[in-house]
């Protein structure tokens, strides 16, 4: 059994590709089951704005590059050929390291942003609900969550306020100067837009309007920020009043079309509008960028701008990388110990069977035994068997743990020798 991970993220694939592959959370169960049908022993899917990644436990025959087959079954608009250049595939130690880095927010667009941990937890819960998490992924993911916690508490990675939302606020200042009295519309109340709203409020904005398909969620968020709720049906009519629009809706299709924005700008007498699209798939028609007074930034644009501010954070990230290296080593050792576990179990079973057989054979010749004698005999035979087993078992564990990181996990020669010696299956 080996751990394999295939995926693409904001570094390897542009938003045009990511938005075609991104899975809604209601699509994931079907894909997980599809993967099981294709032969994966265990599987987990992490799909966020910035990445689509599949982690799986595979047996030796199944190739890792077939991991995306089940996703592509669901997506007729894109082929494996189209995504192959953007795809990365890791196995074993590399897969574990990548997953740890993702969990610890070292691989995030905004290094250190905390949302990814929640997204990973959610992916884990979802896979567990579908029954596609077994002992291997269970060990890997729970360790990944532990690593994330360690990184957060032992380094300062989450401290400085550099984020996509922050970049959005800075850009708003480039356009409007002061944010005071600027009206902000949030379409789609989610974690990302919540972050943006928080930053804008801190930046001096006061009037926040929220619209969401589920009215309750909008009310909830409005309560958080003292904002006003606009009915989802009527936000297009009120667009002209808004200076800044942030979209992070899961709605299919564009929530803002070019025509809507063109008309709004006309009504606003050509005062500028700042449109921030943090959704993947994108919520705002990219052609709106051609309108003179509309300034449209999608998540990739914001990333480019934040990249340079992230240098300082990268240094902190080095400490975090050290934690990852340490933890990967530990988990790998443990997983390899687990690899020899079947051999250990069958060795123990084999010796136990020999013991039982011998006892049964000689019981008759010993005549009637007292309970004490019976117990002594049991202890004697058990002791001999355990003594014999101890050497091979501890040596097998040691050898497994010693195997170097990154080396292909092959059944160690020593294990093979033990199996032969004791005639194990």
Q: What is the nearest approach in angstroms of another protein to the Cβ of residue 194?
A: 21
Q: Count other Cβ atoms within 10 Å, centred on residue 342.
A: 13
**Interface with another protein includes 254 (CB under 8 A)?**
no
Q: Does 224 bind another protein (CB under 8 A)?
A: no
Is 294 labeled as catalytic in the residue annotation? no
Q: Does 177 bind another protein (CB under 8 A)?
A: yes
What span, in angstroms and rounded, lies between the C-alpha atoms of 204 and 207?
10
How big is the CA angle at 164 (ends 225 and 88), to the nearest 5 degrees? Answer: 135
By the 10 Å C-beta count (0-12 exposed, 13-18 middle, 19+ buried), 335 is classed as buried
Residue 286 C-beta: closest distance to another protein, Å: 12
Q: Which is nearer to another protein, 117 or 265 (CB)?
A: 265
Q: Is 170 in the site for another protein (CB under 8 A)?
A: yes
Q: Is 293 in the site for another protein (CB under 8 A)?
A: yes
Decide if residue 225 touches another protein (CB under 8 A). no
Query: In sequence order, what DSSP letters do the residues of 335-359 get, joined into one string?
Result: HHHHHHHHHHHHHHHHHHHHHHHHH
Which one of 275-283, 305-313, 315-323, 394-402 is the stretch in contact with another protein (CB under 8 A)?
Answer: 305-313
Binding flag, residue 311, another protein (CB under 8 A): no
Stretch that binds another protein, among 10-18, 150-158, 172-180, 381-389 (CB under 8 A): 172-180
Q: Which is nearer to another protein, 79 or 271 (CB)?
A: 271
**Least distance between another protein and beta carbon 171 (Å):** 6
Q: State whether the Cα torsion 285-291-294-299 is positive or negative.
A: positive
**Residue among 22, 31, 49, 317 flagged as catalytic:** 49
Q: Is the CB of residue 124 less than 8 Å from the CB of residue 143?
A: no
E runs forming strands in 94-243: 183-187, 207-211, 228-229
Can you list the positions of beta strands (E) in 167-279?
A: 183-187, 207-211, 228-229, 244-247, 273-277
Give the nearest distance from C-beta 5 to another protein in angstroms.
32
Which one of residues 34, 134, 272, 329 is an interface residue with another protein (CB under 8 A)? 272
The 8 Å CB, 24+ separation contacts for 119-124 are: 119/46, 119/48, 120/46, 120/144, 120/145, 120/148, 121/145, 122/25, 123/28, 123/44, 123/45, 123/46, 123/47, 124/44
- Contact flag: residue 202 with another protein (CB under 8 A): no
Q: For residue 12, what are the CA distances in angstroms to 55, 120, 157, 355, 369?
A: 17, 20, 23, 59, 74
The yes or no reply on residue 269 touching another protein (CB under 8 A) is yes
Name the residue nearer to another protein (CB basis): 53 or 285.
285
Q: Counting contacts by CB under 8 A, is residue 273 touching another protein?
A: no
Candidates 38, 145, 175, 250; binder of another protein (CB under 8 A) is 175
SS3 at position 92: helix
Q: Is 77 in the site for another protein (CB under 8 A)?
A: no
Asked whether position 167 contacts another protein by CB under 8 A, the answer is yes
Q: Which helix (H) or strand (E) segment is 7 a member of?
A: strand 2-9
CB 50 within 8 A of CB 163: no
Q: Does 292 bind another protein (CB under 8 A)?
A: yes
Applying CB under 8 A, does 297 fall inside the site for another protein? yes
* Binding flag, residue 270, another protein (CB under 8 A): yes
Decide the pairing of beta strands 88-91 and 42-47. Answer: unpaired
Which residues would be at the binding site for another protein (CB under 8 A)?
167, 170-171, 173-177, 266, 269-272, 289, 292-293, 295, 297, 301, 304-305, 308-309
Residues forming the active site: 49
């Amino acid at each position: 059994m080996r751990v394999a991970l295939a995926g693409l993220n904001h570094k390897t694939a542009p938003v045009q590709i990511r938005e075609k592959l991104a899975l809604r959370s209601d699509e994931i169960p079907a894909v997980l089951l599809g993967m099981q049908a294709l032969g994966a022993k265990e599987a987990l899917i992490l799909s966020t704005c910035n990445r689509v990644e599949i982690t799986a436990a595979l047996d030796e025959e199944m190739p890792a590059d077939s991991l995306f087959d089940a996703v592509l079954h669901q997506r007729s608009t894109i082929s494996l050929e189209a995504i192959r250049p953007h795809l990365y595939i890791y196995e074993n130690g590399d897969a574990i390291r990548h997953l740890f880095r993702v969990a610890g927010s070292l691989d995030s667009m905004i290094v250190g942003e905390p949302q990814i941990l929640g997204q990973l937890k959610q992916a884990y819960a979802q896979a567990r609900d579908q029954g596609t998490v077994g002992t291997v992924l269970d060990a890997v993911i729970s360790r990944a969550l532990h690593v994330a916690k360690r990184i957060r508490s032992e380094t300062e990675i989450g401290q400085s306020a550099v984020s996509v939302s922050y970049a959005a606020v800075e850009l708003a200042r480039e356009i409007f100067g002061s944010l005071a009295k600027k009206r902000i519309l949030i379409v789609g109340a989610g974690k990302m837009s919540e972050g943006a709203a928080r930053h804008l409020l801190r930046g001096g904005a006061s009037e926040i309007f929220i619209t969401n398909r589920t009215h309750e969620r909008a009310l909830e968020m409005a309560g958080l920020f003292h904002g006003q709720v606009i009915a989802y049906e009527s936000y297009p009519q009120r667009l002209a009043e808004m200076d800044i629009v942030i979209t992070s809706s899961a709605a299919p299709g564009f929530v803002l079309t070019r025509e809507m924005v063109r008309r709004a700008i006309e009504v606003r007498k050509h005062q500028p509008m700042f449109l921030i699209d943090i959704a993947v798939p994108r919520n705002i028609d990219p052609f709106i960028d051609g309108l003179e007074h509309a300034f449209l930034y999608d998540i990739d644009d914001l990333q480019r701008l934040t990249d340079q501010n992230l240098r300082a954070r990268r240094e902190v990230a080095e400490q975090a990388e050290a934690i990852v290296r340490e933890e990967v080593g530990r988990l790998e050792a443990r997983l390899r110990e687990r690899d020899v576990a079947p051999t250990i179990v069958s060795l123990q079973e084999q010796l136990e069977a020999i013991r039982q057989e011998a006892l049964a054979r000689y019981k008759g010749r010993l005549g009637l035994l007292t309970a004490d004698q019976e117990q002594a005999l049991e202890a004697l035979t058990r002791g001999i068997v355990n003594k014999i087993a101890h050497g091979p078992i501890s040596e097998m564990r040691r050898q497994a743990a010693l195997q170097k990181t990154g080396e292909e996990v092959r059944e160690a020669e020593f294990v093979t020798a033990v199996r032969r010696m004791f005639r194990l299956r």
